[in-house]
A and B are shown apart, each in its own frame.
Chain A
Amino acid sequence: MVDEEKLQELKERIQTAKSTNTPQQKTKKESGAGFGFKISTEIIAALVVGVGIGLIVDKYLGTKPFGLIIFFIFGALAGFLNVYRVMRRIEKQ
């Protein structure tokens, strides 16, 4: 059936592979560009939603341009909130 010697050899190989691999995996860090991209999508997504709601409100309530102005500001603030949450999540890890 299974060769004892072979198994022992495999065990040793696994051990050496593990000892060399673990430090690398722990220091898995994102690149600066990837991080910046993540943050910017959060802000942009919130702004898109804010402006979208603002335009819809203006269209149906006829409050042009105040809906857009107010919801643009809300969208920007929501963007900052998103960024804050992402940062907190990263710090937790």
Chain B
Amino acid sequence: MAAKGEKHSPLEQFEIIPFTRTEIGGYDISFTNSSLSMIITVAVITLFLTLTVNARSLVPTRMQLISELMYNFVAQLLSDTVGDNGKKYFPFVFSLFMFVLIGNMVGMVPYQFTFTSHIIVTFALASVVFIGVTILGFVNHGIKFFTFFYIPGVPFYMHPLLIPIEIISYLSRPISLSVRLFANMLAGHTLLKVFAGFVVAMPFFTGALPLVFIVALTGLEILIAFLQAYVFAILTCLYINDAYHLH
């Protein structure tokens, strides 16, 4: 790799490269490698889910089984956390789960951009969840939704202290949700690149050692990719549940 003193930073992989330069009303809406990655993700999800379930065989093939497994996984998650009310939100949670999961997996393909490693992407996803859940809370409870911040059974003089704390705790939800996904993906991919650098830099055949380590790390990364998508989905379910049952 690194030829003629060319420098390769482990963070180079996160660089946004615009393919076109488009600007509308002062906003930069260029088609970038991040956009391409998202389109690939959506295409993979759509093709995989439609093609595998197309046969509709009673005894499913392996691929159909994977699709059904994913469906059941999210359906189970929703019914466990939200209950019967949760069925309505299945399309939303399933799309979110698949987008994050396949986005992480597409990012594991060498030379492929990982869009979930950018906080603006994960923060946008988390904001959609946060704003949606807040609206849902107001639709379900009206103005009573504000009692969500009011903890019953506490001495009255404690409320001026507790209500701001509750509000800050509520507002921190999208941040913790987005930071968790973003930081995990960023750290994992950076680590992989750092060890890849060791393979080249170490003398003789000792470079094989970090290479073995990379193989193990890649396995771990795939696990983390799944785990983070799962965490994203389950927290969304919990927040939807909160919008139904205050406290």
Complex Cα distance, B169 from A34, in Å, reads 21
Classify the interface of chain A: helix, strand, loop or mixed: helix
Interface-facing stretch out of B11-19, B30-38, B110-118, B178-186 = B178-186
**Whole-angstrom distance between the Cβ of B10 and the nearest chain A Cβ:** 19
Q: How many residues of B contact A (CB 8 A)?
A: 17
Given contacts A2-B59, A37-B184, A78 and B168 within 8 Å (CB-CB): yes
Q: Is B164 interfacial (CB-CB < 8 Å)?
A: yes
Residues of A within 8 A of B227 (CB): 34
Q: Is B176 interfacial (CB-CB < 8 Å)?
A: yes
Complex Cα distance, B238 from A2, in Å, reads 43
Q: Is B209 interfacial (CB-CB < 8 Å)?
A: no
Residues of B within 8 A of A78 (CB): 165-166, 168-169, 172
Given contacts A2-B59, A78-B169, A49 and B183 within 8 Å (CB-CB): no
Given contacts A42-B176, A45-B175, A48-B175, A37 and B169 within 8 Å (CB-CB): no
**Whole-angstrom distance between the Cβ of B81 and the nearest chain A Cβ:** 10
Q: Is A44 interfacial (CB-CB < 8 Å)?
A: yes
Q: Is A69 interfacial (CB-CB < 8 Å)?
A: no
Residues of A within 8 A of B180 (CB): 37-38, 41
Query: For chain A, which range describes its interface: under 10, 10 to 19, 20 to 34, or 35 or more residues?
Result: 20 to 34
Q: Please tell me if the beta carbons of A74 and B179 are within 8 angstroms of each other in the complex.
A: no
Taking CB atoms and an 8 Å cut-off, the chain A residues in 57-89 that contact chain B are: 71, 74-75, 77-79, 81-82, 85, 89
Residues of A within 8 A of B176 (CB): 41-42, 44-46, 82
Complex Cα distance, B238 from A85, in Å, reads 12
Which A-chain residue is minimally distant from B224 (CB atoms)?
A34
Q: Which of B165, B173, B175, B184 contacts A74 (CB 8 A)?
A: B165
Q: Is B139 interfacial (CB-CB < 8 Å)?
A: no
- Of the candidates A37, A45, A48, the one having the most CB atoms from chain B within 10 angstroms of its own CB is A45
Q: Please tell me if the beta carbons of A41 and B165 are within 8 angstroms of each other in the complex.
A: no
Taking CB atoms and an 8 Å cut-off, the chain B residues in 226-240 that contact chain A are: 227, 238
Which B-chain residue is minimally distant from A46 (CB atoms)?
B172
Given contacts A2-B59, A37-B184, A46 and B169 within 8 Å (CB-CB): yes
Complex Cα distance, B176 from A38, in Å, reads 9
Complex Cα distance, B176 from A78, in Å, reads 12
Residues of A within 8 A of B166 (CB): 78, 81
Residues of A within 8 A of B128 (CB): none
Q: Which residues of A contact B (CB under 8 A)?
A: 2, 34, 37-38, 41-42, 44-46, 48-50, 53, 71, 74-75, 77-79, 81-82, 85, 89
